[in-house]
Amino acid sequence: MTILVTGSAGFIGANFVIDWLSEMDETVISLDKLTYAGNLNNLSEVEEDERHIFVNGDIGDSILIDRLLLIYKPRAVVNFAAESHVDRSIHEPEAFLQTNVIGTFRLLESSRRYYGELNEKDKRNFRFLHVSTDEVYGSLDADSPASAETESFQPNNPYSASKASSDHLVRAYYHTYDLPALTTNCSNNYGPYQFPEKLIPLVIHNAMAHKPLPIYGDGLQIRDWLYVGDHCEAIRMVLDEGSCGEVYNIGGLNEKANIEVVRLLCDILNELHPVSRNASITSYHDLITFVEDRPGHDRRYAIDASKIVAELGWHPAKSFTTSIQKTVEWYLNNQEWVEQVINGDYHQWIERQYA
């Protein structure tokens, strides 16, 4: 038994592969283009595992995808591959269209051809699972109910628009070609191996260097925070028990304002890694710096995860307090990993974005 996981060297994909190999006795064909956010070091835990086969490639390469499907005959394709950073999508939208829309289309086409050649038994067992985001639903008012799977899409930036497009393609391939597809829409993930352009690892990294902790606008943008380990468990359940053609929201059931998260991170860092006496600051809170808000910044995301809870029995296993502490400890204990994944391009990006 084999599954194909795309975007496997990224943050969520790598965590999924590691979790899968620790929980399941199935081979993983892991595909990643190894862009700036894809890093083979993320998969170092499984590099000696004979059940893990890594391929450097692009989901938009139809010839490669066709060959992998033909050789390894996976029972499932799990698509994590995506450009995912909103800030970058504002500056470089075309890359998001190429990967998230055209790439997903070509992956669907290859999967459709592969599925059409399977025998009836293998067709019954095959699944295409597409991993997406809550951002496709758009921004919510403070008193609005959380976004359910039936909500219409209202993306407000190039990233969320490209993901909404890919979600529609997956739906279309289920209804038009009977491809047994499922989609998951998750809230903000956090945990080990997240590239330090996202809020939590960026704050930890900058705090360790006594650099400003940039907060967009007033910092009161609200997000639902989901620990990546809980997300991976939910995806396994959807893959095994979800109904084809359905969408499942996966949320952390934990809404917090960005500034609240940053202040909590500062509290944890003050406890775990206190500022030295001769430093120019007395607390990591002193580094908090408010910067100009980004264009089209959605005010609130909130996910209604009642469907996956009711139908599949999933719910977040870890509390935010426990998981965020665990996440900070991981980054403090893996500073070498952080230094390896950031380079000159990263520093230039941070300076340009938060100047």
Q: What tens digit of pLDDT does each residue of 222-270 get? A: 999 999 999 999 999 999 999 999 999 999 999 999 999 999 999 999 9
Residues noted as catalytic: 134-135, 159
Q: How do residues 95-139 score in pLDDT, each as one tens digit?
A: 999 999 999 999 999 999 999 999 999 999 999 999 999 999 999
Which pLDDT does position 353 carry in this prediction?
58
> Does residue 205 belong to any structural domain of this protein?
no
Lowest mean pLDDT, pick from 74-83, 200-209, 337-346: 337-346
Span 155-182, average pLDDT: 97
How far apart (Å, rounded) are the C-alpha atoms in residues 283 and 186? 33
Give per-residue pLDDT as tens, 296-344.
Answer: 899 999 999 999 999 999 999 989 999 999 999 999 999 988 888 777 5
Q: Is residue 130 part of a domain?
A: yes
Has residue 271 been placed in a domain? no
The pLDDT score that the predictor gives to residue 80 is: 98
Q: Which run of H or of E encompasses 290? A: strand 288-291
151 in a structural domain: yes
pLDDT over 90 (residue 84): no
Position 327 in a domain:
no
Burial level of 17, CB count in 10 A (0-12/13-18/19+)? buried
| pLDDT for res 86 | 84
Question: Do residues 252 and 226 touch, judged by C-beta distance below 8 A?
Answer: yes
For residue 310, the model assigns a pLDDT of 97
Tokens of 15: 């965590």
Side-chain half-sphere exposure of 225, counting CA atoms within 13 A:
23
Q: Is the pLDDT of residue 349 over 90?
A: no
Domain assignment present for 77: yes
Residue 108, domain member (yes or no): yes
User: What does the alpha-carbon distance between residue 53 and residue 99 come to, in Å, rounded to a whole number?
Assistant: 22
CATH of the domain at 146: 3.40.50.720
Number of domains in the chain: 1
Q: Is residue 208 part of a domain?
A: no
Q: Higher pLDDT residue, 346 or 222?
A: 222
Q: Provide the domain limits for residue 145.
A: 2-190+226-254+297-318
Q: Is 148 exposed, middle or buried (0-12, 13-18, 19+ CB in 10 A)?
A: middle
pLDDT over threshold 60, residue 219: yes
Q: What is the mean pLDDT of residues 15-31?
A: 97
3-state secondary structure of 304: coil
Measured CA to CA, the distance from residue 283 to residue 324 in angstroms comes to 19
At 243 the pLDDT is 98
Helical spans, DSSP H, in 128-256: 158-177, 199-208, 228-241
Average pLDDT over residues 22-33: 96
